[in-house]
Chain A
Amino acid sequence: MSTASPVVGVLALQGDYQKHRQMLDRVGVSSCDVRTADDFSRADRLIIPGGESTVIADLLRRFSLQETFSAYIRSRPVWGTCAGMILLAARVNDETVNPYGVIDIDVDRNGYGRQFFSDIRPGHMQLDGVDHRLDLVFIRAPRVTRVGDGVAVLLTCDGDPVLLAQNNVLVSAFHPELTDSVLLHRYFALTFAAEVTA
């Protein structure tokens, strides 16, 4: 498949998937909702949006999508934001969610506390040799408590890793889709893990 004009799928079972679609429209790449096994085959890349990880995991089971999803996230570029990050992690501090274990990190669900502690924090990161300023929107966010050897930390906030990558998997504890900046959506759609899709 061509990397020049990828179709970015957004898992559309529950959560703020429309927000991700709007960001991808602004980047100028094709995107689609992913709800069925057939939809997975149409997507070159996949975003797992924010929402409730318990519900998204439940609906994957309920609609018999577990195997298709599991195979996809082991072979194609995927990006999990917030709830999506929880689903992709190796371990979660909470037996209500069984994560799929495609990135070697442990996470603490709602590790920063309840909604009262949700906040926006400033972040800086280098991408393609350029410095970027980012608003990091944390909403009942998961906290990374362990980072495995093969995992790259791309951004930290107040000492915690909040954007990480391993092979074909990108995860963020925050919500770029709720900001004005399309930086990370452009990066994921066009640059991230290009060798996997080549």
Chain B
Amino acid sequence: MAEHKDLMTVKIGLAEMLRNGVIMDVTSAEQAKIAEEAGAVAVMALERVPADIRAEGGVARMTDPAIIEAIKKAVTIPVMAKCRIGHFAEAQILQALEVDFIDESEVLTPADYENHIDKHPFRIPFVCGCRNLSEALRRIGEGAAMIRTKGEAGTGDVSEAVKHLRLINKQIKELTVLSKDELPSRAKELAAPLDLVIKVAGLGRLPVPNFAAGGVATPADASLVMQLGAESVFVGSGIFKSQNPARMARAIVTAVAKYDQPLELVKASRGLGASMKGRSVAGISEEELLHTR
């Protein structure tokens, strides 16, 4: 079997295959089938969608393996699952279950407030959330093969995802105009590995795919984050908390494929029924926010 460096190619490779697609949160085999038929490029197997995790409170943990196994059986597309931040034992269990991607996610209650999982030893690739370049580069340094914005999950309010995308883009642009001797102190400010800072300064983008997540609820939201540079879109509560999940799912897939074609977006957006009710991020107290985790 291939060693670490080779594994990164294979891990980032799967992330590349998911580009220009929609990854949908599902909580049952039936929902997974609906997602696959609507054109999902992958599904995220969950016990509860983020909106319900938010409403019910309590400690949110890895999904029951029985649910993940049922979803794996139901679809042929890749199946992802979430573990708590820093909970490497949950990640080991998800790897043993042979999920295709692990999301070390702030949507679940963190298990370690100091350390994230060392993701290099795993054969399964990881995706991690971030709000800025500093978090993105630390997660990549730990072995993440895909980065997504945190946004504010379970709200249907896209504003945090927009803020995170814009900030990361701006911070990458800033790196590209710095001279070589300015990069070490910038790396220190970012609290990020210098080799990754140098790499991003040269590439003008992250070395792994950068997807959007957190609050995407409509075809227009999907178009917005794609136009802001996201390479794919995660949709959590936005599909199965809408009035007509199958139609909403299909419409968001069309919107990602035609994100820069407003006439196609008109067609995709028409007559979908109610989108998820949602909750404005501005009305959420500091303690309830997930993206600060």
Contact = CB atoms under 8 A, between A and B. Distances in A.
Interface of A: 12-19, 50-52, 54-55, 58-59, 62-63, 82-83, 94, 96, 109-110, 113-116, 118-120, 137-140, 175, 178-179
A62 B256 CA distance: 13
A15 B76 contact: no
A16 B16 contact: yes
A50 B17 contact: yes
* The 9 A-B residue pairs with the shortest CB-CB distance in the complex, in nearest-first order: A115-B100, A16-B16, A120-B6, A139-B13, A118-B10, A120-B2, A58-B39, A14-B20, A178-B13
Given A13-B20, A52-B41, A120-B2, A115 B101 contact: yes
B272 to A, nearest CB: 16
B20 A52 contact: no
Contacts of A51: 17-21, 41
Contacts of A82: 17
B6 A14 contact: no
A176 B20 CA distance: 20
B227 interface: no
B98 A175 contact: no
Q: Dominant SS at the A interface?
A: loop
Given A118-B10, A139-B10, A52 B98 contact: no
A52 B21 contact: yes
Contacts of A18: 19
Nearest to B2: A120
A14 B100 contact: no
Interface residues of B, number: 33
Interface in B67-115: 76-78, 95, 98-101
A83 B21 CA distance: 14
B14 interface: yes
Interface string B243-258: 0000000000110010
B129 interface: no
B257 A50 contact: no
Nearest to B16: A16
Interface in B1-47: 1-2, 6, 9-10, 12-14, 16-21, 36, 39-42
Contact of A54 (B77, B98, B101, B254): B77
B26 to A, nearest CB: 15
B1 A119 contact: yes
Contacts of A139: 10, 13-14, 17
Contacts of B254: 62
A114 B9 CA distance: 16
B238 interface: no
A96 B275 CA distance: 28
A114 B98 contact: yes
9 contacts: A52-B18, A52-B78, A59-B39, A115-B78, A115-B124, A116-B95, A139-B14, A140-B17, A178-B13
Contacts of B9: 120, 137, 178-179
B125 interface: yes
